[in-house]
């Protein structure tokens, strides 16, 4: 297995663009878990990252309500 360099994480709980280049997915929907997929696909296809882990995350939002999120962890392969 190749060495993995920088790690990036995207979560359905955190709205944002691509952590590498900042581009936003075409559609972001807070109420579904599917909004993570365009971001993950973008990072895989455009930046050549590798999907290292995908899983669930729970926590407490600012309003006290619990939240459930999907988290994907991607790594940049070292070019060496
Ligand atoms: Zn990008």
pLDDT tens for each residue of 25-53: 655 555 554 578 888 999 999 999 999 99
Please indicate, yes or no, whether the overall pTM of this predicted structure exceeds 0.85: no
Strands (E), the chain: 4-11, 50-60, 66-77
Q: How many CA atoms lie within 13 A of 76 on its CB side?
A: 11
Residue 66 alpha carbon to ligand 1 centre in Å: 30
Residue 47 alpha carbon to ligand 1 centre in Å: 6
Residue 64 alpha carbon to ligand 1 centre in Å: 32
3 state SS of 7:
strand
CA distance 68 to 21: 26
66 strand-pairing partners:
60
The domain segmentation of the chain, as residue ranges, is 4-77
Residue 39 alpha carbon to ligand 1 centre in Å: 8
Q: What is the mean pLDDT of residues 1-28?
A: 79
Q: What is the mean pLDDT of residues 47-67?
A: 92
Residue 49 alpha carbon to ligand 1 centre in Å: 10
Distance spanning both ends of the chain, measured CA to CA: 13
Q: Is the pLDDT of residue 76 over 90?
A: yes
Residue 46 alpha carbon to ligand 1 centre in Å: 6
Q: What is the mean pLDDT of residues 70-74?
A: 93
- CB neighbourhood size of 34 (10 A): 12
Q: Is the pLDDT of residue 67 over 80?
A: yes
Q: Is the pLDDT of residue 16 over 90?
A: no
């Amino acid at each position: 297995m190749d060495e993995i360099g920088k790690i990036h994480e995207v979560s359905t709980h955190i709205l944002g663009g691509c952590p590498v280049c900042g581009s936003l997915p075409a559609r972001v929907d807070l109420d579904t878990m599917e909004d993570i997929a365009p971001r993950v696909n973008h990072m895989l296809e455009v930046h050549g990252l590798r999907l290292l882990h995908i899983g669930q995350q729970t926590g407490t939002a600012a309003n006290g309500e619990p939240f459930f999120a999907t988290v994907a962890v991607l790594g940049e392969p070292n070019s060496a």
